[in-house]
Structure 1
Amino acid sequence: MSTFTTPRRRGHAIRGGRSNREVPSGDDDDVRNIEAGRDAIIQQTDHDASSTRMSTVSLGYLEDSFAKAFLAPGEQITKRYPIIHRGTYVRTEAIDKLVVRFLDTRPEQRKQIVSLGAGSDTRFFRLTARKSDSPQSKMAYHELDFEANANQKRTILRQSTELSDCLKQAEQHGSTYHLHAIDLRDLTNKSPPTIPGLDPTLPTLLLSECCLCYLPPDAAASVLQYFTMNLPESLALILYEPIRPFDAFGKTMVTNLASRGIHLQTLKRYSSLQAQRQRLLLAGLSDGQGARDVYQLYGDEEWVSQSERERIERLEWLDEVEEWKLLASHYCVAWGWRGEVFTEAWQGLRGSRTAGEDQDEPG
Structure 2
Amino acid sequence: MSAPSIPNLLSLRGSRGGGFRGRGRGRGGHSQSAAISHDTTIQGTDTDAAVSRMSAVDLGYLQDPFAQYFVQNTVGGTVRRLPIINRGTYTRTTALDGLISSFLAGTATKERQIISLGAGTDTRCFKLFSQPQETGLIYHEIDFPAISTKKLNLVNAVPQLRSIITNPQADTNSWKSSSLQNNCQYRCHGLDLRDLLKDDVQSLDGLRTDVPTVLISECCLCYLETSEAQGVIKYFTEKIPNLAIIIYEPIHPNDSFGRQMVSNLAARRIRMPTLDAYQDSAKQQSRLKDAGFDSVKSSTIGDIWRRWIAEGEKERVDGLEGLDEVEEWNLLADHYIVSRGWRGDGFQAWESGL
Please, what TM-score do these two structures have when normalized by structure 2? 0.86
Matches within 5 A, 1:155-304: 155-168=153-166, 171-231=180-240, 233-286=241-294, 288-300=295-307, 303-304=308-309
Aligned counterparts of 1:340 and 1:173: Cα–Cα separation in 2:
22
Task: Please say if residues 129 and 166 of structure 1, whose CA atoms lie closer than 8 Å, have aligned partners that are also in contact.
Answer: yes
Aligned counterparts of 1:129 and 1:72: Cα–Cα separation in 2:
21
> What residue number does 1:79 align with?
80
Matches within 5 A, 1:55-66: 55-66=55-66
Letter matched to residue 203 of structure 1:
P
Aligned counterparts of 2:284 and 2:330: Cα–Cα separation in 1:
20
Aligned counterparts of 2:265 and 2:194: Cα–Cα separation in 1:
22
Q: Deviations over 1:111-151 (max 9, x none)?
A: 000000000000011112247xxx53421000000111111
Letter matched to residue 316 of structure 1:
E
User: Relative to 1, partners in 2 of residues 1:137 and 1:289: Cα closer, same or farther, differing over 3 Å?
Assistant: farther
How far 1:76 moved relative to its partner? 2.8
User: Relative to 1, partners in 2 of residues 1:54 and 1:183: Cα closer, same or farther, differing over 3 Å?
Assistant: same
Q: Deviations over 1:50-109 (max 9, x none)?
A: 111011110000000001111234863111111000000000000000001001113110
3-state SS of 1:166 partner: coil
Q: Which runs of 5+ in 1 are unaligned?
A: 1-19, 25-30, 351-363
Aligned counterparts of 1:126 and 1:217: Cα–Cα separation in 2:
32
> What residue number does 2:111 align with?
110
Q: Deviations over 1:189-219 (max 9, x none)?
A: 1222331000111111000000000001111
Task: Please say if residues 186 and 193 of structure 1, whose CA atoms lie closer than 8 Å, have aligned partners that are also in contact.
Answer: no
User: Relative to 1, partners in 2 of residues 1:148 and 1:157: Cα closer, same or farther, differing over 3 Å?
Assistant: same
* CA-atom RMSD in angstroms: 1.9
Task: Please say if residues 28 and 271 of structure 2, whose CA atoms lie closer than 8 Å, have aligned partners that are also in contact.
Answer: no
Aligned counterparts of 2:28 and 2:106: Cα–Cα separation in 1:
42
Counting aligned pairs with the same residue, the percent is 42
Q: Which runs of 5+ in 2 are unaligned?
A: 1-25, 168-178
How many pairs were matched up?
317
Aligned counterparts of 1:237 and 1:309: Cα–Cα separation in 2:
27
3-state SS of 2:276 partner: coil
Letter matched to residue 228 of structure 2:
A
> What residue number does 2:18 align with?
none
Letter matched to residue 335 of structure 1:
R
Aligned counterparts of 1:123 and 1:349: Cα–Cα separation in 2:
21
Aligned counterparts of 2:164 and 2:60: Cα–Cα separation in 1:
22
Task: Please say if residues 103 and 137 of structure 1, whose CA atoms lie closer than 8 Å, have aligned partners that are also in contact.
Answer: no
3-state SS of 2:44 partner: helix
Task: Please say if residues 21 and 219 of structure 1, whose CA atoms lie closer than 8 Å, have aligned partners that are also in contact.
Answer: no
After the TM superposition, list the runs of 4 or more consecutive aligned residues in structure 1 that deviate by more than 4 angstroms: 20-24
> What residue number does 1:89 align with?
90
Q: 1:325 is matched with which residue: 312, 326, 330?
A: 330
Please, what TM-score do these two structures have when normalized by structure 1? 0.84
> What residue number does 2:32 align with?
32
User: Relative to 1, partners in 2 of residues 1:163 and 1:22: Cα closer, same or farther, differing over 3 Å?
Assistant: closer
Task: Please say if residues 104 and 136 of structure 1, whose CA atoms lie closer than 8 Å, have aligned partners that are also in contact.
Answer: no
How far 1:345 moved relative to its partner? 2.3
Task: Please say if residues 117 and 211 of structure 1, whose CA atoms lie closer than 8 Å, have aligned partners that are also in contact.
Answer: yes
Matches within 5 A, 1:334-345: 334-342=339-347, 344-345=348-349
User: Relative to 1, partners in 2 of residues 1:249 and 1:73: Cα closer, same or farther, differing over 3 Å?
Assistant: closer
> What residue number does 2:145 align with?
147
> What residue number does 2:352 align with?
348
How far 1:173 moved relative to its partner? 1.3
Aligned counterparts of 1:152 and 1:136: Cα–Cα separation in 2:
26
User: Relative to 1, partners in 2 of residues 1:244 and 1:22: Cα closer, same or farther, differing over 3 Å?
Assistant: closer
Structure of greater relative contact order (alpha carbons < 8 Å, 6+ residues apart): 1
Aligned counterparts of 1:53 and 1:293: Cα–Cα separation in 2:
19
Bigger radius of gyration: 1
> What residue number does 1:13 align with?
none
How far 1:326 moved relative to its partner? 0.3
